[in-house]
Structure 1
Amino acid sequence: MLTITAIYASLLALLFILLSVNVIRWRLKARVSVGDGGHHGLVKAIRCQANCAEYAPIGILLLGIAELQGAPVWAMHVLGAMLLGGRILHAFGFGRQPQIVPFRRLGILLTLIMITVAALGILGHALI
């Protein structure tokens, strides 16, 4: 069972829903059904949502593989918290006007470190 992965996958899915609702809100406000209509706020909302959609799935997949390989519970929670925290920080930092650049940078840094550490750990475990 992927109990720990389920926790972080669910929380990331809820974050994605919040980002999606924000896109819908901007679409209604700007009266734009397809594309961004040149509205800066809508562009930012779309990219916030898309960025989550681009990074969260690989992180969740790696988390699940690590859990299946028997990674320690503490390591799973550290990786999951890095992914979730990174995605929240990035969305918050990028989505604000003006951007909160340190949050955005820390968010992507946490996400990339999580993906790298998980990938290397999984690879190392698979090769042993």
Structure 2
Amino acid sequence: MPKVTLLFAALHVLLMLALAVPIARHRHAHKVGLGDGGDKLLARKIRVHGNFTEYVPLALLVLALLEACGLAAAAVWGFGGVLLLGRLLHAAGLSGSGGYSKGRFWGTALTWLSLLLMALAGLWIGLR
């Protein structure tokens, strides 16, 4: 059973909720039911959450498959940890600024690195 992936999935769910709650609060406070209502801060909050949902589901699926296929536990922990750190940094960076930030840069770099390494591990396992 992919127990390590389960742990990382649970942590990512908590992060997703932490990104979703400010959107709901902002919508309620400013009476915005759909979209961003032209509110730039709300638009950025939505984008932070959206970016998370674009990357995390597939990454966790690949992580679970790698774990289920017997990838070394250290690699599973490493990929999961790098992904989570990347998502935390990206969320913090993009939440603070719509432009360049170190958090956004390193968050993207770590997310992409984890995805690339997991893809290569999947190709290695799948083709051997």
Q: TM-score interval w.r.t. the shorter chain?
A: over 0.9
Question: Within 1, Cα distance between the matches of 2:5 and 2:59?
Answer: 10
**CA deviation after TM superposition for structure 1 residue 99, in Å:** 5.5
* Superimposed CA distance per residue, residues 46-73 of structure 1 (whole angstroms, 9 cap, x where no aligned partner): 0011111000001101100110111111
Q: Percent identity?
A: 34
Question: Within 2, Cα distance between the matches of 1:29 and 1:44?
Answer: 16
Task: Look up the match of 1:75.
Answer: 75
Structure 1: state its 5+ residue gaps: none
Q: Equivalent residue of 2:37, what SS?
A: coil
Q: Work out whether 1:8 is the aligned partner of 2:8.
A: yes
Aligned length: 128
Please tell me the root mean square deviation across aligned C-alpha atoms, in Å: 1.2
- TM alignment of 1:1-128, pairs within 5 A: 1-97=1-97, 101-128=101-128
Q: Equivalent residue of 1:33, what SS?
A: coil
Which TM-score applies when normalising by structure 1? 0.95
**CA deviation after TM superposition for structure 1 residue 98, in Å:** 6.6
Structure 2: state its 5+ residue gaps: none
